[in-house]
Amino acid sequence: QVQLVESGGGLVQAGGSLRVGCTTSGSIFSDSTMDWYRQAPGERRKLVASITSDGTPYYIDSVKDRFTISRDSAENTVYLQRNSLRPQDTAVYYCGTIVRGKRYWGQGTQVTVSL
């Protein structure tokens, strides 16, 4: 059973920063690309950033200069640091990974950015 446990999120004013984390077991973490998706109300879930097992990051264009994805092998945790947040960043953020061809998700964490 693959479990992804998210932490962080919350309410922040526009221009502020928040960090979310996602922890899983060591064997899963060390071998897997870890993803962060987000889902805004009324929209489908979309990829925001990902990081490979060797630490290579990927970002969508709209967050490339504001978000940083990182992984901490000692804690088996992947982080998404989000700076210069905008109201349009408001969404539920999900951690995800694929193990043996099956997609797994964390429970999601709400991020609300107010004006």
In percent, how much of the chain has pLDDT > 70? 100
SS3 77: strand
Residue 43 is predicted with a pLDDT of 96
Residue 101 in this model has a pLDDT that exceeds 80: yes
Tell me which residue of 92, 104, 93, 94 sits closest to 32, measured CA to CA.
104
Note whether 18 and 110 are within 8 A (CB).
no
Note whether 18 and 12 are within 8 A (CB).
yes
Residue 2 is predicted with a pLDDT of 87
Residue 26 in this model has a pLDDT that exceeds 80: no
What are 81-94's pLDDT values in tens digits?
Answer: 999 999 999 999 99
Residue 98 is predicted with a pLDDT of 94
Contact partners, residue 43, CB within 8 Å, separation at least 6: none
Tell me which residue of 94, 98, 92, 82 sits closest to 112, measured CA to CA.
92
Mean pLDDT, residues 26-55 taken together: 93
Residue 9 is predicted with a pLDDT of 86
Mean pLDDT, residues 28-54 taken together: 94
